[in-house]
Structures are given as structure tokens and as C-alpha cells.
Amino acid sequence: MDEQGQSITVVEMQPKHIEALERLEQECFSTPWSFDALVSELSNPLAVFRVAELDGEVAGYVGMHHIVDEGYICNIAVFSQYRRRGVATSLMQALDDYARENDMASISLEVRESNQIAQQFYEKFDFEVVGHRKHFYANPTEDALIMTRSYGGLF
């Protein structure tokens, strides 16, 4: 349940979610994923994409690629009207549960160097800065921090 008493449910991404996720991408990112790119993840055997629903409405999503024993988070996004209601936390908890169930060694992601709010959020899930990518982002151009969450592997 979120702070307003609505039930948050996290489910696997399905074809019925794609249109809403395309709108979410356009709302949240300067270089959004296309409808076709999201559709392609439905048949990608490495894709672990989860959608958060509040009372049946798409509130946000997270996408990760699972390669051997490592995960790479592609995107996490929440519609503005659902922010600060536990949606992103529910999505990250779903990935954490998945990682533990699948004996993953680590999960990594990139985050804009200026995005302190996101960095603090990831730190709550035990992500640590492990690297830096010059000029990783466009529109505007910005460096990225590489953050990793270890599950007892080499990190």
C-alpha cells in the first residue's frame, strides 16, 4: 500500500503495459526508449522488466538485463503523479528479491552525476559508487556514476 492507501502491485511487464511505458519514457527521459524498443524486451531472454501498478494503473517500471550472475539496470521511472508514494521502492525491492532468488553476484546502473536524489535512493539499497563514465548522457551532456549493489561476490 502507498501512503494514500492504494495497493502497489509489481508484475512482469506485459504487452498491455507498453503504451503507458512509452508515455512514461517520454515524460521522464531526454532520450526515451521507443515503443518498439520496449516491445523487443518482451522477447529478450535476458530482460527482467517489472511494472508497478496502483489499483490497476501503470505507475512506474524498472528494467534490468540479467547476464550470468550480474544485473544491469537499464531504466527505472515513475509517473510524476505517483512519485513519493513508494512505487520506486517497490520496484527496487522486486529486483532485489529477484537477485537473491537467482543467486546474482551484483546489480549495476549508471546515474547522472548531478542526480543527487537518485543517488541517495540507490544508496538506501546498498548501491555504492564504483566508477565513472565521461559524457555518458546526452541532452544535456553529462558524466555518469556507476553504482553497484553486491550480493557477496567480488565487490
Report pLDDT for 153.
Answer: 53
Distance CA 111, CA 146 (A): 7
Indicate the average pLDDT of the chain: 93
Domain 8-150, CATH among 3.40.50.300, 3.40.630.30, 3.30.1650.10, 3.40.640.10: 3.40.630.30
Report pLDDT for 30.
Answer: 87
Tens digit of each residue's pLDDT (9 = 90 or more) over 89-127: 999 999 999 999 999 999 999 999 999 999 999 999 999
Confirm whether pTM is higher than 0.85. yes
- Checking if the pLDDT of 150 tops 90, the result is yes
Strands (E), 23-139: 47-54, 57-67, 70-78, 106-112, 128-137
